[in-house]
Amino acid sequence: MEKIKISKTDLEVSRIILGCMQLGKTWNAEPISDDTIKNAINVIKTALDEGINFFDHADIYARGKSEEVFSHIWKEISGLRNKIILQSKCGIRFPNDPEDGSPGRYDFSYEHITKSVEGILRRLKTDFLDILLLHRPDPLVEPEEVAKAFDELHAAGKVRYFGLSNHTAPQIEYLKKFIAQPIIVNQLELSILHSDLIEEGVTFNQKHPSRGIRNIGTIEYCRLNDITIQSWAPLAKGKLFAENLTDEKLKIARDVVIASAEKYNVSKEAIMIAWVLRHPAKIQPVIGTTKAERVKACCQANKVQLSREDWYKLYIAGRGEALP
Ligand SMILES: NC(=O)c1ccc[n+]([C@@H]2O[C@H](COP(=O)([O-])OP(=O)(O)OC[C@H]3O[C@@H](n4cnc5c(N)ncnc54)[C@H](OP(=O)(O)O)[C@@H]3O)[C@@H](O)[C@H]2O)c1
């Protein structure tokens, strides 16, 4: 597995990250079953065997159960904590928290960030996070509060590095003005079916853009500022490989992925991941599978260097129409 050093840190990380969102299985109050623990351990061990040393969490995943389930790995492999990179996120709150009628919302207040990290560390059974991300931009953010929370968490040794998720370039630039620690990561959705980040640059200045242009230059901004981009949902949430696919455009995209898989002699999942890896920004795919076999299938992407032509074929198939 290829490793990269994250800029402005001492972190040596695998290009592929295991996304742990579904490891806790259910998003309700149901307790964690032995099968769920067994499966999670198997998935994590397989990822480690494949050379993955980077694990992505969030406090909300399976309502905290994904972090809790993950902590069972410490009993399985002694001395593992200092060999892996643990990242988690906070800033999203569920409806009815703290009281009935409270809406689902974002919360970057000092109190919420610091309290969330306590919960994350408790569930993961660790003393520190390598990276904390703020999950989704909070329109009511007071950057001084974020700065205070980050300063305290950093000084207490509870969080080593900080990043953001789903943030635009101006949002990052604004927060950076207040935050003492470097912003090292921005986690954004990217796959052949959700290529808006790439579209931004390609459809710019078109008279009739096929897709809305939103935040021009997010990739370039991150590259200029040495902010590593992580792509969430790089497998497009399995949408292309659903049984009974009826949408004609999706069927074409699926067939292009399958043809590429045959050409490069790897799995179809590996092609989806290789498409992200081929981008020169050294984007890190966060794979969200709950199956050990699929972890292995994704990691075959390490063997693939897509040609320029094949990368474009997949991009065009995913966007569903020819380029301008
Ligand atoms: N920052 C954010 O806002 C954000 C949002 C969402 C997710 N994330 C992170 O990104 C990670 C990945 O996201 P994700 O899980 O939504 O998307 P993903 O990695 O694109 O897709 C994973 C899902 O697709 C299914 N899948 C993949 N290939 C398949 C195939 N060939 N056939 C059938 N099903 C297939 C998987 O099922 P199996 O389990 O059966 O393999 C799993 O349910 C998460 O774990 C999380 O860490 C971050």
| Residue 256, SS3 per DSSP | helix
**Ligand 1 contact, 40 CB (< 6 A):** no
Ligand 1, residue 291: give the atom nearest the CA. 41
> Global pTM?
0.96
Residue to probe by mutation, ligand 1, list 57, 168, 193, 289, most atoms within 8 Å of CB? 289
Q: Which H helix or E strand runs over 12?
A: strand 12-14
**Ligand 1 contact, 46 CB (< 6 A):** no
Instruction: Name the E strands within 166-283.
Output: 183-189, 228-232
Reported as a single tens digit per residue, the pLDDT across 6-31 is 999 999 999 999 999 999 999 999 99
Distance CA 84, CA 35 (A): 24
Residue whose CA is at the smallest distance from ligand 1 atom 30:
238
Distance CA 71, CA 213 (A): 41
**Ligand 1 contact, 95 CB (< 6 A):** no
* Number of Cβ atoms within 10 Å of the Cβ of 323: 10
Residue whose CA is at the smallest distance from ligand 1 atom 7:
232
Q: Where are the domains positioned within the chain?
A: 3-242+272-290
pLDDT at 200: 80
**Ligand 1 contact, 294 CB (< 6 A):** yes
pLDDT at 187: 98
Left, alpha or beta for 57 (phi > 0: left; psi -120 to 50: alpha)?
beta
Among 229, 238, 216, smallest CA distance to 294 is for: 238
How distant is the alpha carbon of residue 269 from its chain centre? Answer: 16
Distance CA 126, CA 228 (A): 24
**Which is it for strands 105-106 and 92-93: parallel, antiparallel or unpaired?**
antiparallel
Ligand 1 center to residue 204 CA distance, Å? 29
Residue whose CA is at the smallest distance from ligand 1 atom 34:
238
Output the CA torsion 116→137→130→279 (10° steps): 150
Contact 60, 75 (CB under 8 A): no
| Residue 72, SS3 per DSSP | coil
Ligand 1, residue 58: give the atom nearest the CA. 47
Q: Which residues of the chain have pLDDT under 50?
A: none
∠ CA 63-69-71, rounded to 5°: 120
| Residue 18, SS3 per DSSP | strand
Residue to probe by mutation, ligand 1, list 56, 232, 290, most atoms within 8 Å of CB? 232
Say which CATH superfamily domain 3-242+272-290 falls into: NADP-dependent oxidoreductase domain (3.20.20.100)
Residues involved in catalysis: 61
Place of tokens 């990739």: 219
Contact 222, 178 (CB under 8 A): no
Question: Cα–Cα distances in Å, from 50 out to 15, 83, 196, 229?
Answer: 11, 14, 30, 22
Residue whose CA is at the smallest distance from ligand 1 atom 37:
289
List Cβ neighbours of 183 (8 Å cut-off, separation of 6 or more).
Answer: 162, 163, 164, 172, 175, 176, 225, 227
Distance CA 135, CA 124 (A): 18
Residue whose CA is at the smallest distance from ligand 1 atom 27:
238
pLDDT at 256: 97
Reported as a single tens digit per residue, the pLDDT across 310-322 is 999 999 999 998 9
Contact 213, 204 (CB under 8 A): yes
Residue 195 token pair: 């290529």
Ligand 1 center to residue 111 CA distance, Å? 30
Number of alpha carbons in the 13 Å side-chain half-sphere of residue 107: 20
Residue to probe by mutation, ligand 1, list 230, 237, 243, 271, most atoms within 8 Å of CB? 237
Ligand 1 center to residue 205 CA distance, Å? 33
Ligand 1, residue 188: give the atom nearest the CA. 1
